Amino acid sequence: MAIFSALSFLSDRKRPIVVSVFLFLLLSSLFLLFSPAPAALPFFSFPSSHLSSSSSSPIAATPPPLTPVSVPANASSPETPVDASGGSNAGATAPTRDAPQPDRSRSTPPAAVGVRGSAGTNGTSRGVSAGGDGAGAAAAAAAGVAVPSWEVCEVGKGVVAADYIPCLDNVKAVKALKSLRHMEHRERHCPTAPRPRCLVPLPTGYRSPLPWPRSRDMIWYNNVPHPKLVEYKKDQNWVRKSGNYFVFPGGGTQFKAGVTKYIRFIQQIMPNIEWGTHTRTVLDVGCGVASFGGYLLDRNVITMSVAPKDEHEAQIQFALERGIPALLAVIGTQKLPFPDNSFDVIHCARCRVHWYADGKYFKPLLICGKPLLELNRVLRPGGYYIWSATPVYRRGKRDEDDWNAMVTLTKSICWRTVVKSKDVNRIGVVIYQKPTSNSCYFERKQNEPPLCPSREGSHSPWYAPLDSCLLLPAVSSSGEGNSWPISWPERLNIKYSTISDNASTQFSQEKFDSDTKHWKDLVSEVYFNEFAVNWSTVRNVMDMNAGFGGFAASLIHKPLWVMNVVPFDHPEALPIIFNRGLIGVYHDWCESFNTYPRTYDLVHMSYLLQGLTNRCDIIEVAAEIDRILRPGKWFVLQDTEQVIRKMDPVLRSLHYRTAIVKQQFLVATKGFWRPYSAGSESR
């Protein structure tokens, strides 16, 4: 009636025109509602799932690269800062995409790899979707996924929302702890159900990180706006503020003159360390801003830099923003998330860990020391422990007591003192070596600390308490199993295993070689050619289900590094990854990872999601991926078509641009969109 009343005011001449327009719009709407292919109308645009009928086809030898797609209107260009409301300070521009060519010297004939293809001559679905909250609703409903209305995370008092790590910022759980004596408040305390399904906001003025290697020496101030270390460590050359940047001079508490000289000094007093050939994997405990690990990269050494989230504000966040491998971890009451006998070298420069803690007196000896026993567990037989701290070179009462305790403890676990020396600045270093045979352990006058019972089968340190016993590197009477891996880089392609890695022996060299070849071919032919990924901007990579580390090995000639993650309930493969000269951790992806938000350029998941969603919701997994991934960067999912149909609408509800390639890869680009609410910090 209202419509006809409105028409009555029109002249007889205009009334037919208005009625015709109204009927056209009505019929068009009905057509769109009931048509099986609404996208056929050229004047309407709809997001699609890009899942066309499947067809089998081998990987093309030289597939054409994906055409670059435009950036959503609310995305920022790489060098454009964003404000706290989530908008850009400048108009959006489409980023240019390099089309990297595969490394032909490392590729094999394409027929060696078979993957399912889809519509198109090269088996690639070219459609790209970019949607908002409602863009994937229909697809999500069809896939049986309830897409939430996304909200910004609400954090506890004193937690910066932009830096939120659910398992390390659980204020309620920390307040309920009965003791903080052993750094319990720095350990993981994950929220119980319902798990976080929220999004972490961006810092005001955030922009895409500087490229490597420039990022090693400077980063954007607004990306990690934490100036406390500038003042706190101003006389140690950790970090300085210079205009819009943080600058890292390469200094440290124990190497104020520069980390390069410090690394060279270690090589001089211990030539057998042979950086980059004999020594490939290093654990740096209490790493600060990770300059030690950052400069060891020049010598083909990859370092896992670890430190807790503590009063040294954002040190691990600085490291990852610089493009240096790092992880939030503390030696408190639980084991580190690494396998036994994994690192070639462990380093501690004033790391503030009381290695002899929990000692027991057996007059006149002080022994036990759970923290040092944990280092012994993860140090490879024959590996070195480098300790640079005041007890090594100062002679005050406290330092001498600490030194005497350390001497007693290292002798009790059969570590040999290789060298003790001072550099030109009178900073002392002592280097210990872990034995390669068991004879010393059985010849000790006192069985303290006691030997651990032998372990059968696979075992994971995930949430396991620290040992108070001494883990033996199992070796045969002939000495088999205690040999050092061959030199880098040859060790990358050898399935070296020790007898102590009982579970790893179940994998044959043939299976290992097949996996290595599979990833080498797949990455060379598909990942480098078919994906809309600008590999020249990728530095920090996360492989959520690493297997033998084949994906990481296939990227070894790129200027990037990979955090290889092995599910905690499948611990057998991680020792092999370390033996290859790569690094990784155990983790449960139903919980948050020990890293800051926005720390990885590419997150990769291969055939993990289906089993994972049997224990946790796909929305929770997507929220954690979004927390880790940097804006403007990429998530790559390899899985079945059914799993991809479930994940695609979830990512589109987060305003990701998605494309499905060869019916088994979902390539998603994260934008700068956030569902902002007032305030970014709760005090």
pLDDT tens track for 300-356:
999 999 999 976 678 999 999 999 999 999 999 999 999 999 999 999 998 878 787
Question: Tokens representing 212?
Answer: 């490597």
Answer yes or no: are the C-beta atoms of 452 and 467 closer than 8 Å: yes
Tokens at 349, concatenated: 């420069």
**CB-based contact 46:39 (threshold 8 Å):** yes
d(CA 15, CA 17): 6
Quickly tell me which residue has 């211990």 as its tokens: 270
Q: Is the peptide bond before 201 cis (omega within 30 degrees of 0)?
A: no
- Among candidates 28, 72, 30, which has minimal Cα distance to 47? 72
Identify whether the C-beta of residue 668 lies closer than 8 Å to the C-beta of residue 69: no
Adjacent-strand bridge partners of 349? 388
pLDDT computed for residue 81 by the predictor: 59
pLDDT for 625 beyond 60:
yes
Per-residue pLDDT, averaged over 458-465, amounts to: 88
Question: DSSP letter string over 628-660?
Answer: HEEEEEEEEEE--HHHHHHHHHHHHHTT-EEEE
User: For residue 71, what pLDDT band results from cuts at 50, 70 and 90?
Assistant: very low
What whole-number distance in Å separates Cα of residue 141 and Cα of residue 565?
A: 31
Instruction: Write down the pLDDT at residue 211.
Output: 97
Nearest residue to 276 (alpha-carbon basis) of 249, 303, 254:
303
In this prediction, residue 53 carries a pLDDT of 31
What pLDDT was estimated at residue 362? 45
| Residues in CB range of 652: below 8 A, 6 or more apart | 47, 129, 130, 131, 135, 136, 139, 658
Report how far residue 350's alpha carbon sits from residue 316's, in angstroms, rounded to the nearest whole number.
Answer: 16
Identify the bridge partners of residue 114 per DSSP, sorted by sequence position.
58
Q: Rounded distance, CA 161 to CA 200, Å?
A: 6
pLDDT band for 135, please (50, 70, 90 cuts).
low
Instruction: Return the top range by mean pLDDT from 283-292, 406-415, 435-444, 594-603.
Output: 594-603
Q: Around 521, how many Cα atoms within 13 Å sit in the side-chain half-sphere?
A: 18
Which of the four pLDDT bands, split at 50, 70 and 90, describes residue 258? confident
Q: pLDDT digit string (tens) for 521-552?
A: 999 999 999 999 999 999 999 999 999 999 99
- All residues at 6 or more sequence positions from 481 whose CB lies less than 8 Å from its CB, including other chains: 473, 474, 475, 498, 499, 500
Tell me the average pLDDT across 649-669: 97
Confidence of residue 127 (pLDDT cuts 50, 70, 90): very low
Query: Do residues 133 and 149 lie in contact, with contact meaning Cβ atoms separated by under 8 Å?
Result: yes
Residue type, 410: T
Report the 10 Å Cβ neighbour count for 155. 22
User: Among residues 276, 288, 420, which one has the least CA distance to residue 350?
Assistant: 288
Residues 6 or more apart whose Cβ sits within 8 Å of residue 335: 374, 377, 461, 464, 465, 466, 467
pLDDT category of residue 568 using cuts at 50, 70 and 90: very high
**Nearest to 664, CA basis, from 117, 128, 136, 130:** 117
DSSP single-letter state for residue 273: G
Helix, strand, coil shares of the chain, percent, nearest 5, are 30, 20, 55
Using the predicted structure, report yes or no on whether residue 593 has a pLDDT greater than 60.
yes
CA distance linking residue 527 with residue 638, whole number of Å: 11
The reported pLDDT for the residue numbered 35 is: 43
Q: For 207-226, how does the pLDDT look when each residue is reduced to its tens digit (9 = 90+)?
A: 999 999 999 999 999 999 99
Predicted pLDDT at 488: 97
- The answer, yes or no, to whether residue 608 has pLDDT greater than 80, is yes
Per-residue DSSP letters for 150-217? --BPP--TT-BGGG--TTT--HHHHHT-S--TTSGGGS-----SSPP--BPPPPTTB-PPPPTTHHHH
Burial class (CB in 10 A: 0-12, 13-18, 19+), 34: exposed
C-alpha span between 577 and 552 (Å, rounded): 9
Q: Are strands 218-220 and 245-247 parallel, antiparallel or unpaired?
A: antiparallel
Q: What is the pLDDT of residue 137?
A: 65
Joined tokens for residue 341:
């006998």
pLDDT tens-digit readout, 627-649 = 999 999 999 999 999 999 999 99
Give the Å distances, CA to CA, from 524 to 60, 115, 146, 191.
11, 14, 36, 40
In tens, the pLDDT along 72-95 reads 333 344 455 554 444 443 333 333
Which pair of structure tokens corresponds to residue 467?
């040992």
Percent of the chain at pLDDT above 90? 55
Which tokens belong to 149?
């209305």
pLDDT more than 70, % of the chain: 72
Beta pairing partners, 279: 275
Tell whether the model's pLDDT for residue 502 goes beyond 60: no
Torsion of CA 632, 638, 639, 643, to 10 degrees: 0
Res. 394: pLDDT tops 80: yes
CA separation for the pair 163, 186 (Å, rounded) = 15
**pLDDT at 588 (0 to 100):** 97
CA angle 661, 666, 671 (to 5 degrees): 120
The radius of gyration computed from the CA coordinates of the chain, to the nearest angstrom, equals 28
* Structure confidence at residue 411 as a pLDDT band (50, 70, 90): very high
Residue type for position 646: K
User: Residue 390 pLDDT > 80, yes or no?
Assistant: yes
Which two tokens mark 531?
């994906």
Q: Are strands 428-433 and 379-388 parallel, antiparallel or unpaired?
A: antiparallel
* Cβ neighbours of residue 502 closer than 8 Å, sequence gap 6 or more: 455, 456, 457, 458
Number of H helices, E strands in the chain: 20, 22
> Binning pLDDT at 50, 70 and 90, where does residue 581 land?
very high
Question: Two tokens at 58?
Answer: 């081998």
Asked whether the beta carbons of 223 and 209 are under 8 A apart, the reply is yes
What is the rounded average pLDDT of the residues 417-446?
A: 92
Q: Name the more confident of 648 and 64.
A: 648
| Burial state string for 359-371 with b = 16 or more CB within 10 A and e = fewer than 16 | beeeeebbbbbbb
Rounded distance, CA 283 to CA 292, Å? 10
Given a cut of 70, whether residue 564 has pLDDT beyond it is yes
Can you list the domains of the chain with their CATH numbers?
256-452 (3.40.50.150), 489-497+506-682 (3.40.50.150)
